Homo-oligomer: A and B are copies of this chain.
Amino acid sequence: MIDDERPLPSWTDGATRDAILEFVESVSMGPHAIPVADRVAVFDNDGTLWTEKPMPTELHYVVEKWAAAAKADPALADEQPYRAAVTGDLSWLAAAVDKHYAGDDSDVQVVLRALVGLTIGMSVEDYAAAVSAFYRDAHHPTLHRPYSEVVYQPMVELLRHLERHGFTCYIVSGGDRDFMRPMTSQVYGIPPERVVGTAVGLTYDAETAQVRYAASLSFLDDGAEKPIRIWSRIGRRPILAGGNSNGDMPMLDFARRGPRGFALLVHHDDDTGRGDAPYDNGAEEAIAAASDRGYTVVSVKRDWSRVFVEPVASA
């Protein structure tokens, strides 16, 4: 099963890579191996598996939809978040996300209402088709490449390394679950049933036998909600968790404080111009607590010899 190549090739030699390799070996080989079924790993998405700067990908999608809505109904253009969408001044949106990470959800609530407004009554299958079309065409606003190419190569290598050692990997993200699902199979090799995320309420339309989006958010999958949703969906305590922000701490702790748990915290500290913006905002608490809580900190600058995946030749 295990080939001869150097595992985790885009990870530089050092304590971080060693710690990961040693943990994976300790739980998958020898007399103290953990049963395969219990080798569950969970990963945050935005900022952990792919870049979340200058803003989470979903904001790009909804900004396009909001701009179209304001074009159809010009009265909307004076209100946030439609104003941001129409003017192209997205600083209000970026600030809303920063405020969320700092504990103030007021602007995020405005965003979420407008977000939920985009899909009221839409069938889940129609939404999946709309999102798939977006991923086919959209490009990252500052890196100018498809979103499938702003994925962190070292993290994809980690997913594959874990799978080769019997792990099952899940995404557990604050992002909208159904916005992630259409791309996670292709980009991460993680199928829809292993994507956990923020959920819009659903209704069942018996007339058409369709599941449709309702008018309110069901839950925001961040902070303390993450271990709750992990249990709901998986029914097991993960033995490995990876995240990058304060909102990942409960999930990291839930894994780390199991009998044999491991937690990774990606720290965006790369100021060498390889395309990953350095930032600590929204992660200050997690970084400060890493040593006490036993998180293994991944320095993008120090631990990754390569940041993004290779561009895929277009089909």
Q: Chain A: residues with CB nearer than 8 A to chain B? A: 37, 124-125, 168, 177-178, 181, 185, 191-193, 195, 199, 202-204, 206, 209, 211, 224-228, 230-237, 250, 253-254, 256-258
Q: Name the prevailing secondary structure of the A interface residues.
A: helix
Q: Is A209 a contact of B257 with CB atoms below 8 Å?
A: yes
Beyond A203-B224, A204-B227, A204-B250, list 12 extra A-B contacts (CB 8 Å). Answer: A124-B231, A168-B193, A181-B235, A191-B235, A199-B232, A202-B232, A204-B224, A204-B225, A204-B228, A206-B250, A209-B258, A233-B233
Q: Is A125 a contact of B237 with CB atoms below 8 Å?
A: yes
A230 to B236, CA, bound (A): 19
Q: Top 5 A-B pairs ranked by shortest CB distance?
A: A192-B235, A209-B257, A204-B224, A202-B228, A211-B231
Contacts of A254 in B (CB 8 A): 204, 209, 211
A227 to B193, CA, bound (A): 14
Report the minimum CB–CB distance from A252 to chain B (whole Å): 10
A209 to B96, CA, bound (A): 29
Query: Known: A211-B228, A232-B199. Is A206-B253 also a contact (CB below 8 A)?
Result: yes
Most chain B CB atoms below 10 A, which of A168, A181, A209, A225:
A209
A178 to B178, CA, bound (A): 25
Contacts of A224 in B (CB 8 A): 203-204, 206
A37 to B181, CA, bound (A): 13
Select which of B125, B178, B204, B235 is within 8 A of A193 by beta carbon: B235
Query: Known: A125-B237, A192-B234, A193-B236. Is A209-B253 also a contact (CB below 8 A)?
Result: yes
Contacts of A193 in B (CB 8 A): 168, 233-236
Report the minimum CB–CB distance from A192 to chain B (whole Å): 3
Report the minimum CB–CB distance from A120 to chain B (whole Å): 15
Contacts of A232 in B (CB 8 A): 177, 199, 202
Q: Is A235 a contact of B178 with CB atoms below 8 Å?
A: yes
A199 to B231, CA, bound (A): 11
A101 to B225, CA, bound (A): 33
